[in-house]
């Protein structure tokens, strides 16, 4: 981590929330797609999965809701999505995945799918912050 802004961005993309003091430290109501992408790619490279708490469902476990990325040794990345049964969070109701040849394409698709409306009221824009 090289800056306070990067630490705030990491907290935002992992926890999906910043408190009022953290929002003030961020200094704006928007972040650039480049900044978010850099944090997601770094965490994906470090953990092999993004978000770090995500994972493919297995019987008896609570379903991780939404999209997540998985790095593969051959350099490809899978973007997977899954949803639970609305009244049974340990029952997988629907899932799918898309394969990407590189992390840049996968991260870009992930950001469009998960955060097109922003993250916790903070816009993700094409314009650098």
- CB–CB of 108/6 below 8 Å? no
Q: Phi-psi bin for 67: left (phi > 0), alpha (psi -120 to 50), beta?
A: beta
The per-residue b/e assignment along 21-35, b for 16 or more CB within 10 angstroms, e otherwise, is eebeebeeeebbbeb
What does DSSP assign to residue 63?
Answer: P
Q: In the chain, what are the domain boundaries?
A: 4-125
**Per-residue model confidence (pLDDT) at position 70:** 97
| Six-digit token string for 68 | 């997540």
To which H or E segment does residue 12 belong?
helix 4-15
**Per-residue model confidence (pLDDT) at position 3:** 87
**Per-residue model confidence (pLDDT) at position 127:** 65
Residuewise pLDDT in 10s, the chain (129 residues): 458 899 999 999 999 999 999 999 998 899 999 999 999 999 999 999 999 999 999 999 999 999 999 999 999 999 999 999 999 999 999 999 999 999 999 999 999 999 999 999 999 998 665
**Per-residue model confidence (pLDDT) at position 1:** 42
Q: What is the full DSSP assignment across 112-128?
A: HHHHTT-BTTBEEESS-
Q: What's the whole-model pTM score?
A: 0.90
Cα distances (Å, whole numbers) of residue 53 to 20, 30, 80, 100, 101: 24, 25, 14, 21, 23
Place of tokens 């978010």: 36
**Per-residue model confidence (pLDDT) at position 126:** 85
């Amino acid at each position: 981590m090289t800056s306070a802004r990067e630490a705030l961005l990491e907290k935002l993309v992992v926890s999906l929330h910043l408190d009022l003091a953290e929002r003030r430290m961020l200094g704006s109501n928007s972040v650039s797609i480049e900044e978010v992408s850099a944090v997601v790619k770094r965490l994906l490279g470090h953990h092999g999965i993004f978000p770090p708490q995500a994972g493919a469902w297995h019987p008896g476990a609570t379903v991780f809701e939404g999209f997540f990325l998985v790095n593969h040794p051959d350099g490809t990345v899978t973007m997977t999505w899954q949803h639970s049964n609305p009244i049974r969070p340990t029952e997988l109701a629907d899932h799918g995945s898309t394969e990407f040849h590189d992390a840049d394409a996968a991260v870009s698709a992930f950001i469009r799918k998960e955060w097109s409306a922003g993250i916790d009221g903070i816009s993700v824009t094409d314009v650098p912050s």
